[in-house]
Amino acid sequence: MSTVHASKHPLVAHKLSRLRNKNTEPKKFRELVREIAGLLAYEATADLQTIPVQVETPLTKMTAQELKEKIGLVPILRAGLGMVEGIWELMPSAEVWHIGLYRDEHTLQARGILQQTPC
């Protein structure tokens, strides 16, 4: 798959080793999931587009950069829920979006909906 990027970062490898250890306590497991999510989000967002904005620093005005588009996080149950916190630490303005499925009572086909949850 050409669109899959497997992280080779040593911190990710180290934390994955601890995560996979059967002796890792549940609290530590959740912490590791959060930490790995932050590291992966850092890698995955390297090509986000930005736009120039004017800001006033304590010394002068300057042109800085802001993200061009709104970020939506769509966690896939179950590990995805634990990863949201780690990504929010890097992008606190990101929204969490949920995909829900229901069965159409007439066709019996699964239908999907996307919900944006303000957080």
Each residue of 76-101: pLDDT tens digit?
A: 877 788 899 999 999 998 999 887 77
What percent of the chain shows pLDDT beyond 70?
93
pLDDT at 102 > cutoff 90: no
Fold of 10-117: Rossmann fold (3.40.50)
Segment 52-64 shows an average pLDDT of: 97
Segment 103-115 shows an average pLDDT of: 78
For 74-88, letters b (16+ CB in 10 Å) and e give: ebeeeeeebbbebbb
The residues spanned by each domain of the chain are 10-117
Long-range contacts of 1-8 (CB under 8 A, 24+ apart): 5/43, 5/44, 7/39, 7/40, 7/43
